[in-house]
């Protein structure tokens, strides 16, 4: 299970955490003449089993959510998602998906994109809303950060799109997990209702993306490699089908430059450029 792999990081419970917990718990028990003990036990046990359940669901084939956090099991988004829209008379999404899958496998550690259905089970909807994605675990860094890729293709009329996200899944931190359980007598009352509504990302509370300059180097290198592969395949497929890629190349350049500087990418201008290209083609014919 990738989420449990801390690789070269010593994933251990700190003595200071245990010592501080013992002192605080003894003080609380003493001040309340032991009356607080049942609360400590009940909230701690419930929190422990909630965390255990969330971890066990990481590798289950069913992926569902309510309203928010559809990809929480795969980690937190690294930067912005990328989306490119294009207009074409023929549906070329199947070929595009096949080429992205082949390129990822060929150039990055044999990475395999697998189809996944992610379902929004929002109770305010008249019916569940399943949507199709492709997901790949690209690599786990030497410091236990799983780098995952999610790809989605879509079509509205003759406007087609490819969208992808890169997510960083930290390893399950034993010390952080213990601290969440130990703090449960205070925090339980604030998160239990949102959790039951499936609006609380418990996994994020016990995961750690290791803070290290070298881990940052590894993450930057791998994410740039993934983005470069997807952008290149997208450019190749569009040009083979005589689709203008000038706005895509601008988006690609901006994305690569932002990755180098470590800034936050704002895709408004290039997305607007893509929409302008689509509108021009629909009005004036395909280039």
**Which of the four pLDDT bands, split at 50, 70 and 90, describes residue 4?**
low
Contact 111, 278 (CB under 8 A): no
Q: Mind spelling out the 3-state secondary structure of 76-114?
A: EECCCCEEEEEECCCCCHHHHHHHHHHHHHHHCCCCCCE
For the segment 123-175, what is each residue's pLDDT rounded down to a tens digit? 999 999 999 999 999 999 999 999 999 999 999 988 999 999 999 999 999 99
**Which of the four pLDDT bands, split at 50, 70 and 90, describes residue 19?**
very high
With 60 as the cut, is the pLDDT of residue 270 above it? no
For the segment 36-63, what is each residue's pLDDT rounded down to a tens digit? 999 999 999 999 999 999 999 888 888 9
Please state, in angstroms and rounded to a whole number, the distance separating the CA atoms of residues 100 and 34: 61
- Give the residue among 67, 157, 160 at the shortest CA–CA distance from 118: 67
By the 10 Å C-beta count (0-12 exposed, 13-18 middle, 19+ buried), 80 is classed as middle
With 60 as the cut, is the pLDDT of residue 287 above it? no
pLDDT at 268: 42
With 70 as the cut, is the pLDDT of residue 273 above it? no
For the segment 56-90, what is each residue's pLDDT rounded down to a tens digit? 988 888 899 999 999 999 999 998 889 899 999 89
With 70 as the cut, is the pLDDT of residue 110 above it? yes
For the segment 178-194, what is each residue's pLDDT rounded down to a tens digit? 999 999 999 999 999 99
pLDDT at 5: 73
pLDDT at 276: 52
Contact 282, 85 (CB under 8 A): no
With 60 as the cut, is the pLDDT of residue 275 above it? no
Long-range Cβ contact pairs of 31-36 (< 8 A, separation 24 or more) = 36/185
**Which of the four pLDDT bands, split at 50, 70 and 90, describes residue 122?**
very high
Contact 140, 5 (CB under 8 A): yes
CB atoms within 10 A of CB 3: 22
């Amino acid at each position: 299970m990738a989420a449990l792999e801390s690789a070269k990081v010593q994933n251990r419970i700190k003595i200071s955490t245990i010592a501080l917990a013992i002192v605080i718990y003894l003080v609380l028990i003493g001040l309340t003449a032991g009356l607080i003990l049942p609360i400590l036990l009940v909230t701690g046990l419930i929190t422990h089993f909630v965390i255990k359940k969330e971890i066990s669901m990481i590798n289950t084939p069913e992926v569902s959510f309510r309203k928010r956090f559809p990809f929480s099991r795969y980690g937190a988004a690294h930067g912005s998602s990328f989306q490119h829209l294009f207009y074409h008379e023929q549906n070329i999404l199947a070929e595009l998906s096949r080429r992205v899958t082949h390129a990822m496998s060929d150039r990055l550690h044999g990475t395999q994109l697998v189809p996944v259905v992610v379902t929004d089970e929002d109770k305010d909807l008249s019916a569940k809303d399943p949507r199709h994605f492709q997901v790949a675990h690209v690599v786990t860094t030497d410091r236990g950060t799983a780098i995952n890729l999610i790809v989605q293709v879509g079509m509205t009329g003759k406007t087609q799109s490819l969208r992808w996200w890169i997510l960083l899944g930290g390893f399950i931190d034993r010390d952080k997990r213990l601290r969440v359980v130990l703090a449960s007598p205070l925090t339980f009352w604030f998160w239990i209702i949102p959790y039951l509504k499936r609006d609380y990302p418990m996994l994020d509370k016990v995961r750690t993306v290791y803070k290290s300059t070298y881990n940052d180097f590894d993450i930057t290198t791998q994410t740039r490699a993934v983005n470069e592969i997807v952008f290149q395949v997208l450019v190749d497929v569009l040009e083979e089908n005589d689709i203008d890629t000038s706005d895509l190349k601008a988006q690609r350049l901006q994305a690569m430059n932002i990755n180098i500087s470590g800034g936050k990418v704002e895709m408004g201008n290039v997305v607007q450029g893509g929409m302008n290209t689509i509108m021009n083609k629909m009005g004036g014919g395909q280039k």
